[in-house]
Structure 1
């Protein structure tokens, strides 16, 4: 039988969906906290572990700019989430932190309309010269900062009742400075209480190694950390931290960088470390203010369509490179649920 090459990615994804539903993987304990409440890890299916919906880059201490109309945002974004569902994706982790455009009501509405599980976060983002840090992050102790995040976890975000499903931090390059260390230690305090995973936007491998060292020094398992943007490190650094149990997340897969990401994934396969790998696009929309007129603009990160390159191009390239259905299922189904599961023992 001759197979239409244009249908191959969809056929592969169907096989992955079938595998996720029918193979006898060890069932996970714990749960995932979505914007609509708890689900079991087995309900996640194919997952994108690092994406965005809307992000506002104006800065934490700027005058709050006018908000986009939610109906307009839904009209722009919903078709792409519906397309995700057609591609077999059930779950999207939305990684926009507080003070940089986190909009949990929009996320909840989009989740309800699309039937995609969406997970939001708590935490602060200190990369980009601290532009997105609130002033109190400098003056409060790690315990006080952690208490803000714990309140969101226990009571919901800004009175909505919507709870975060992970902690999101962001740091720059090199060893962490005193503010970055304080924020990470605040996150560790909450992770120990809640079981929430810490997803670390990280500038380079040196910073990632320092993060893992701080986790270890504070008695938190390395598996509670995701090295976000691990493509900013080297193969050797990714190998080192994956062997320590850190989740290595290659975010930013785009139409223009397919071969580069294929090489990084292949290296981890050669080292028998696919069980520590996550992949995602890091797609989303930025809030634009043109003389008071607010609009949403797709991130200019190399993808002409959001959330699609992995399913329309990259999965096919993995298959042609010799990756098996089970290996792709592990990367796209099993690993995200293990990385983000909330252990009830931690509550």
Structure 2
């Protein structure tokens, strides 16, 4: 099953999916934690935010998009009440997440219990739900991590270990933000030590540096690859990377998306926003240069359905 803000659905119902977007990133961590930990929301703000985000979702839907994976972890202000409202009014599927929800400085205070406490919290989020709204228990559909740049810190190692533990218990896939390709080698060491299932692990932002050697290594391990910054003017570069991955026979392990913040873009302009670039620019560019439109549509349908399918 795939867990959405309107409840679980069968993978065949997901449709064309953007695998990594943000409805609204919340910079106020206090407010973010209040929503996550205390289930308290600002109702007037939700209605105001909806006015900027809903038109974008409807634009996406008009181009054939049916689902979005929310990549904002709880500390990024994932607002499940807003997500449910948007999902209902746009009639699209939104996959929420659990994951990184506390400042990593907590590792310095609780290094001995850090991994277990995090894992237990994420397991609880899945078993009990992130919240229950209008009788719907909203369970996360993935675990979102954000790793810092540089060498893998002890806090980030702990987060990875916790995510693997929670994934084994719940079946949830891990959606992991990694901005530097060299860090993937350290991540692999941690995952190997924990006996992780690589088929449940996504390297988000594999396209950031587009390191073909490490991408090939990650794919051979079974890791999923995120080409998730398909923004205006990037189609030639993203096309070349995707073509290379397809040539390695790993096209079935790619998630395609844009990594836009819909609220910010909508507030800037609802008439010229870039949040349908993947449909308006990237797919036509691929079709013109040798990757058939239906191949891309198939990847945006089948791949997310397989990655986000929770079998527990």
Q: TM-score, normalised by structure 2?
A: 0.88
CA distance in 1, matches of 2:224, 2:7: 24
* 1:279–1:299 Cα change, 3 Å: farther
Name the count of aligned residue pairs: 297
Alpha-carbon distance in structure 1 between the residues aligned to 2:47 and 2:218 = 43
Contact 2:32 2:77 in 1 (8 A): no
SS of 1:55's partner is coil
* Partners of 1:278 and 1:331 within 8 A in 2: yes
Q: Which residue is equivalent to 1:259? A: 236
- How do residues 1-347 of structure 1 correspond to structure 2 at under 5 angstroms? 31-59=1-29, 67=42, 69-124=45-100, 133=103, 136-138=106-108, 139=110, 140-158=113-131, 160=133, 161-233=137-209, 234-285=211-262, 304-343=272-311, 347=312
Larger mean CA deviation between 262-271 and 99-108 belongs to 262-271
User: Could you say which structure has the larger radius of gyration?
Assistant: 1
What is the root-mean-square deviation of aligned Cα atoms in Å? Answer: 2.5
Q: What is the SS of the residue equivalent to 2:256?
A: strand
Q: For residues 281-307 of structure 1, what are the alpha-carbon distances to aligned partners after superposition, in whole Å with 9 as ceiling and x for unaligned?
A: 101146xxxxxxxxx56599xx95243
Rounded to whole Å, the distance in 2 between the matches of 1:325 and 1:181 is 39
Query: In 2, are the aligned partners of 1:50 and 1:281 still within 8 Å (CA)?
Result: yes
Say if 2:52 and 2:266, in contact at 8 Å, map to a contact too.
no
**Paired residues of 2:21 and 2:71 also in contact (CA < 8 A):** yes
CA deviations on 1:78-130 (whole Å, 9 max, x unpaired) are 111111111111110011111221101000010011111001100106xxxxx
TM-aligned CA deviation for residue 272 of structure 1: 2.1
Once residues 334 and 314 of structure 1 are traced to their aligned partners in structure 2, the CA distance between those partners, rounded to angstroms, is 18
Q: Which runs of 5+ in 2 are unaligned?
A: 36-40
Distance 1:268 1:196 in 2: 25
Q: Which is richer in helix? A: 2
Which structure 1 residue ranges, 5 or more long, are not aligned? 1-30, 126-131, 287-295
